[in-house]
């Protein structure tokens, strides 16, 4: 499903006139249905690695080989238009933050990925409502604008929007950090089902016990040092 070879990301700080290393020599492989847990101290580059896999950041070295029905592609070398297509069809990403569009309800935001795929609007909204309620969002918030939501409520929207369509690869950046116990339990069950359905997952978790028993591989990043993968 995914093979990462000698991946590296450096940032150039123009104001300071110097280069900063985020991570280097990252290599691992991931099969369908496997969950890889990223570990390491603050500053080791865990979130930067996820953003590079999603191509929010362009890597400065290495390969990101993703298997698709159209063949294997190297995300490190695809153009912007191709990356947008890959994101829409093959890669989901759950960030720590949500910056919602003005005057767009929680239900509309979560239903959108299904509407893009031609799902009838009433069915898409019904599925969005079911998933949000499963994650313990209050029913009265379904038709509310999320600009005033709490951090935990926004995180539930992030999760629901990324989980409503079963992407082959799902990237999760501390998805449980702001969740209540009920939502964490619901997410754990959802990830278990996704694994059974063949979704490959790469994640950083604030509390690794939230995915205890689901992890197939662990990749430990040391701050600005070489790293190793263990199974």
* 178 compared with 167, residue with greater pLDDT: 167
Give the mean pLDDT of 215-227: 77
With contact defined as beta carbons under 8 Å apart, do 92 and 171 qualify? yes
Type and span of the H or E element at 153? helix 151-163
pLDDT 10s digits, 67-124: 988 899 999 999 999 999 999 889 999 987 767 777 899 999 999 999 988 999 999 9
Type and span of the H or E element at 218? strand 217-220
Name the strands in the sheet holding 61-68, side by side, starting at the edge strand that comes first in the sequence. Answer: 18-30, 2-13, 61-68, 71-74
**57 phi and psi angles, rounded to 5 deg:** -110, 140
CB burial of residue 75 (10 Å; 0-12, 13-18, 19+): buried
- Indicate the number of domains in the chain: 1
What confidence score (pLDDT) does residue 226 get?
A: 43
SS3 content of the chain, % helix, strand, coil (to 5): 35, 25, 35
Residue 122: which CATH number?
Answer: 3.40.50.300
pLDDT category of residue 178 using cuts at 50, 70 and 90: confident
Q: Which domain holds residue 194?
A: 2-230
What confidence score (pLDDT) does residue 224 get?
A: 59
């Amino acid at each position: 499903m995914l093979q990462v070879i000698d991946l590296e990301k450096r940032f150039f700080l123009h104001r300071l006139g110097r280069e900063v290393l985020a991570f280097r020599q990252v290599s691992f492989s991931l099969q369908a249905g496997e969950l890889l847990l990223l570990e390491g101290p603050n500053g080791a580059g865990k979130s930067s690695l996820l953003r590079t896999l999603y191509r929010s950041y362009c890597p400065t070295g290495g390969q990101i080989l993703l298997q698709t029905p159209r063949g294997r592609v190297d995300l490190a070398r695809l153009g912007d238009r191709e990356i947008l297509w890959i994101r829409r069809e093959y890669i989901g990403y759950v960030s720590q933050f949500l910056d919602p569009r003005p005057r767009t309800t929680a239900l509309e935001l979560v239903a959108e990925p299904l509407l893009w795929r031609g799902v009838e609007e009433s069915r898409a909204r019904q599925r969005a409502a079911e998933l949000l309620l499963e994650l313990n969002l209050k029913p009265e918030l379904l038709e509310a604008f999320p600009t005033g939501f709490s951090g935990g409520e926004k995180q539930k929207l992030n999760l629901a929007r990324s989980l409503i369509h079963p992407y082959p690869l799902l990237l999760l950046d501390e998805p449980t950090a702001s969740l209540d116990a009920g939502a964490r339990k619901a997410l754990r069950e959802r990830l278990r089902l996704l694994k059974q359905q063949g979704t490959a997952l790469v994640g950083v978790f604030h509390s690794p016990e939230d995915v205890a028993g689901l992890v197939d591989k662990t990749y430990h990043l040391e701050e600005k040092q070489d790293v190793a993968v263990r199974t």
